[in-house]
A = this chain, B = another copy of it.
Amino acid sequence: MAKKYTIAVIPGDGIGKEVTPWAQKALEKAAEGVADFEYENFDLGAERYLCDGAILPDEELERIKKTDAILLGAVGDPRIKAGILERGLLLKLRFALDQYVNLRPSKLYKGVTSPLANPGDIDFVVVREGTEGLYCGAGGAVRRDTPAEVATEVSINTAYGVERVVRYAYELAMKRRRHITLVHKKNVLVNAGDMWQRIVDRVGEEYPEVTHDYQHIDAATIFLVSDPSRFDVILTDNLFGDILTDEAGAVVGGVGYSASGCINASNEYPSMFEPIHGSAPDIAGQGKANPTAAILSAAMLLRHLGFDDAAARIDTAVEADIEELGSTVRSTDQVGEDILARL
């Protein structure tokens, strides 16, 4: 008998609303016969905020907590001041659900043109810490808007928080090409960097098959452009992971092909899966957003719930679709239908 799961769906804003239905359809079809999904829709994001001022009411957060996983579209609107929805909704979900692994695969698909002249084989995963660092919101300002203003931002890093994501990266590396690159800036951020390096070294002793090296964040941005195929698992903190994954998205031909998971790997709370692109107000409502990244996020969700075969079916369908039709201009629905037809 097929297992039952409740999925929280947060389509969000702009193209988020257009691509999320395709993620759901792909989920359904790929998991037919093995999993039964029920959906609970949450109207959260810029539109909701502009309408009734709510960002993430406690009661809704509690309902989300009870689901098995979350599908997120994209959130954001230029009319809203930077930080409000990010801190009030996206980061609040990551922190409240203790999603400490931010998992971001980057792959250059056959049929996609990279902006690099000689991209090589690009296939790596960034394991980004998701609940610490500069994202804690531990900063402040005094004498705001005067010549004597001082503003601080505090990066908080704990052995507890770092070790669990480091362990995740090693486990993941064991299933891949068994190489980890720690990225930090330990020559300047000596306290946090030194702790990260020590924990990677120590946990690494338990994984003798996995090699690991280290790069400063500045050097890593160079190698992503000059030699991206050297990477297998990139392990890094919250802010550096944010930066590297966007650059990686560019290098593999655009964020339209990149999905991401905010994962609570101890399964106390639901994990969240989303395309890494934003709500793209400039093309919203025109039916031309590419749903591929959203569909790939459905595959990540399936893999997280243990449905590796169903996930692989989506990955294979997407890969075939891009290889064959990636360079043609298609509507959102056309791409969705083409991929679904292969499932």
Contact = CB atoms under 8 A, between A and B. Distances in A.
Interface of A: 82-83, 86-87, 91, 113-118, 134-135, 137, 139-141, 143-160, 163, 185-195, 198, 217-219, 221-222, 224-226, 239, 242-247, 249-251, 254-255
Contact of A117 (B115, B198, B246): B115
Contacts of A118: 115
Contact of A247 (B91, B147, B247): B247
Contact of A115 (B87, B143, B225, B247): B225
Given A83-B186, A116-B116, A239-B185, A195 B159 contact: no
B194 A222 contact: no
Given A243-B218, A247-B221, A159 B140 contact: no
A243 B221 contact: yes
Contact of A250 (B135, B185, B226, B246): B226
A222 B255 contact: yes
Contact of A195 (B151, B160, B247): B151
Contacts of A91: 188
Nearest to A189: B153
Nearest to A138: B152
Contacts of A137: 190
Contacts of A193: 82-83
Nearest to A116: B115
Given A222-B250, A246-B218, A247-B247, A190 B150 contact: no
Candidate in A143, A190, A239 with the most chain B CB atoms within 10 angstroms:
A190
A249 to B, nearest CB: 7
B246 A222 contact: yes
A242 B240 CA distance: 12
Given A115-B225, A134-B189, A225-B247, A218 B195 contact: no
B221 A188 contact: no
18 contacts: A83-B188, A87-B190, A115-B226, A116-B116, A116-B117, A139-B155, A144-B195, A145-B198, A146-B159, A147-B159, A148-B158, A153-B157, A154-B154, A188-B242, A221-B247, A222-B247, A222-B249, A225-B251
